[in-house]
Amino acid sequence: MIEIRWHGRGGQGAVTASELVAVAAIKEGKYALAFPEFGAERRGAPVRAYTRITTETTLIPRTPVLEPDIVVVLDSGLLGLPDVLKGIKKGGLLLVNTKAKPSELRSRLGCSSDVKVATVDATGIALETIRTPIVNTAILGALVRASNVVRLDNILEAVKERFPGRVGEVNVEAVKRAYEKVEVG
């Protein structure tokens, strides 16, 4: 089972991102659950969401992910919060929306060498493509490249279904650009 924990701020689309990964996984015939951690749903407030993906069992607990394989941070300003890096598994992946290089981020956070660090300027990509700083689709492209958790074509299909028409096209472009630009170190 692969467990993903998403950290974002209200309005950035962390919950939607958590769902789109599940949608893509279900398209691949996997079993997946995606659910938000419910707090006050205010724009700008820190939000968490979770995705669990498995091919082995449908017996998945309906509880928050405490020991994630992957932590995705949609707003690097959240990295100061104590719970963001908490519980990440050995061999796990930390993916952050930032202009910083993975090596810079690793030394800044004092991240252990057991954890893979990936970075992408999802905000920049979102502003270029969607023209608003909603980074959830861009971060998905980076996630797929850095983790292979689902296939790119299935993410693109999930994005197109969720956002029909022109909105879908620019979001697809955001996914593709982040897929190209993500750096893993």
149-178 residues in contact with another protein (CB under 8 A) are none
Do residues 64 and 37 make contact, with C-beta atoms less than 8 angstroms apart? yes
Task: Give the Cα-Cα-Cα angle 149, 152, 155 (nearest 5 degrees).
Answer: 85
Question: CA 60, CA 108: separation in Å to the nearest integer?
Answer: 35
Among 59, 80, 113, 164, binds another protein (CB under 8 A): 59
Q: Scan for tokens 């959830």, then name that residue.
A: 136
Q: If binding is defined by CB under 8 A, does position 45 make contact with another protein?
A: no
Give the span between the Cα atoms of 97 and 95, in whole angstroms. 7
Does residue 29 belong to the site contacting another protein (CB under 8 A)?
A: yes
The reply on whether position 125 binds another protein by CB under 8 A is no
> Least distance (Å) from another protein to the CB of residue 109?
27
State the nearest-atom distance from the C-beta of 106 to another protein, in Å. Answer: 30
| Tokens 């930032």 -> residue | 98
Query: Which residue of 61, 110, 164, 165 would you call a contact of another protein, by CB under 8 A?
Result: 61
What 3-state class would DSSP assign to 147? helix
Among the candidate windows 31-39, 78-86, 102-110, 147-155, which touches another protein by CB under 8 A? 31-39
How far apart are CB 61 and another protein at their closest, in Å?
4
**Crossing angle for the helix pair 152-162 and 136-147, nearest 10 degrees?**
160
Note the residues at the interface with another protein (CB under 8 A): 19, 22-23, 26-27, 29, 31-36, 38, 59-64, 66
